[in-house]
Amino acid sequence: MGQPGLNRRQLLTALGGLTVAGSLGFAALGTGADALASDARTRVRYWNLFSGGDGVNMIDMLDAFRAANPGVDVKDSTLRWGNPYYTKLAMAASGNRAPELAVLHLGRLAGFAPERQLDPFDTDLLAEYGVREQDFNPTLWQRSLIDGQLYALPLDIHPQLNFYRKDICAQAGLIGDDGNLITLTSPDDWFDALKEAKKVVKKGLQTIGLHAFDQNFAWWFFMSFYAQAGGTYYDEHLTDVTFDTGKATEILEFLRRHITDGYNIAGSPDAEHFMNGGAFVWEGGWSVPVYDAPKIPYGATPLPPLFGKPATQAESHAFVLPHQSDRGGAANEAAHRLAAYIVRHAVDWAKGGHIPAYTPTLTDPAYRKLTPQSEYASAMDHMALEPPAWFAGSSGTLAQRIGPVVVAANLGSTTPDAAARRMRQVLTQLLETSNPMGGGTA
């Protein structure tokens, strides 16, 4: 082995040694490169799960906040909605390494332990930043309280909607004098309308997209119509299962019929079909920016009240303060300030399709001009909600267990009545499982 080889080896050894030493040192510091690089006095770590059209709006609002508050360094992280997000939020909160501010679906609040996983908001501080109880829909505010303390600050309501193409529906004679979709009040009405629409929809496109394969959407649509029919899940003390398999069978048959009658081609990319000329698509309000982009003429209403009273599944995003044992000081104040800022600038947020929880926004002329947002704002008065149990909430255990059953019925791999019985079993089983965070069965 010659001299050059030896030198190269020495060089490599030295480099390797440096890398090892550097890595060990970095690991000992333990904060990560980004936190090291941040020189602002106050750093607010803010976790959210907005990755649709609303994510873009959130980024814009954060940028506006940063411009107005140069002393605060907002580090936002968007985690994948569903298991990763809630798992990580819960664990960070229990492990006392939580971010200063996070977003939570209100339905999930029951599954988070107050004091141990979440800290309450300081309402005086919020008032200082211009956010007061009277500015909120009372139902939402009530749902945000635990033992009288405010543990969540509602940001919006996001309902499931019936998006319709105005051009296609007009050809099918489904547009009323006001330029909007005519009112449909029974399953027969609805299927008649679909029949007309199908005649004018191009071959190869589906008449309606309803995410038949998606366990979350399937569950949300079921919830909506089941609530319209007056169905419930548990009694108010969460001790007995009150699930009505007869009503559920009816709803499941209704959903399935979209596929058997050929109005829906299961597995198609629903949004693409709608944009290319499908008549309807059922989607969350967050899809508004998606359909705004290609400039197609469309409207959106709450899911039509086909089974009785109006109801459409809706959830709410809310801000929470994940538990930090040393919460307080400038970072905590900045977290309040950021949450209040975004709640109050809800017109921008509403562009993402969400209905603002901050009621002064609803009368804001800028909001009233937004279409189709103003067309479905009424959905907030008819929310179909999951039962307030620890296993409920967006992509929670209940949705994960029961959603696949609805999908199976949608796809015909099980009969509607068998699926309804299975749903009842799931509800019973979950009720029997005691809340792991303590506090009885629910």
Binding site for other proteins (CB under 8 A): 19-20, 23-24, 26-28, 30-35, 45, 47, 49-53, 55-56, 58-59, 75-84, 86-92, 94-95, 97, 99, 111, 113, 116-117, 213, 215, 267, 269, 272, 391, 396-397, 400, 404, 407-408, 411, 413, 433-434, 436-438
**Closest separation between CB of residue 423 and other proteins, Å?**
14
**Closest separation between CB of residue 340 and other proteins, Å?**
21
CB 298 within 8 A of CB 373: no
Could you give the angle at which helices 187-200 and 245-260 cross, rounded to 10 degrees?
10
Our CB check for other proteins shows the closer of 187 and 404 to be 404
From the list 160, 83, 87, 103, the residue with the least C-alpha distance to 315 is: 160
**Closest separation between CB of residue 381 and other proteins, Å?**
30
Our CB check for other proteins shows the closer of 27 and 67 to be 27
**Closest separation between CB of residue 235 and other proteins, Å?**
23
Our CB check for other proteins shows the closer of 10 and 433 to be 433
DSSP state of 149: E
Our CB check for other proteins shows the closer of 176 and 269 to be 269
**Closest separation between CB of residue 74 and other proteins, Å?**
13
Our CB check for other proteins shows the closer of 21 and 330 to be 21
CB 161 within 8 A of CB 220: no
The whole-angstrom separation of Cα 339 and Cα 137 is 17
CB 304 within 8 A of CB 224: no
**Closest separation between CB of residue 384 and other proteins, Å?**
22
Our CB check for other proteins shows the closer of 188 and 272 to be 272
Our CB check for other proteins shows the closer of 108 and 382 to be 108
SS3 for 387-416, per residue?
Answer: CCCCCCCCCCHHHHHHHHHHHHHHCCCCCH
Who contacts 25 (Cβ-Cβ below 8 Å, separation ≥6)?
none
**Closest separation between CB of residue 342 and other proteins, Å?**
14
Our CB check for other proteins shows the closer of 53 and 120 to be 53
**Closest separation between CB of residue 147 and other proteins, Å?**
18
DSSP state of 435: P
From the list 113, 114, 112, 131, the residue with the least C-alpha distance to 122 is: 131
Our CB check for other proteins shows the closer of 308 and 404 to be 404
The whole-angstrom separation of Cα 343 and Cα 127 is 12
How far the first Cα of the chain sits from its last, in Å, is 74
**Closest separation between CB of residue 426 and other proteins, Å?**
10
Output phi, psi for 171, to 5 deg: -60, -35
Our CB check for other proteins shows the closer of 145 and 437 to be 437
Half-sphere exposure of 225 (CA within 13 A, CB side): 24
User: Tokens 């080896």 appear where?
Assistant: 9
Which string of b and e fits 76-99 if b means at least 16 CB within 10 Å?
Answer: bebbebeeebbebbbebbbeeebb
User: Tokens 């197609």 appear where?
Assistant: 296
**Closest separation between CB of residue 160 and other proteins, Å?**
19
For every residue of 236-255, DSSP letters joined together read TTS-SB---HHHHHHHHHHH
Output phi, psi for 255, to 5 deg: -65, -45
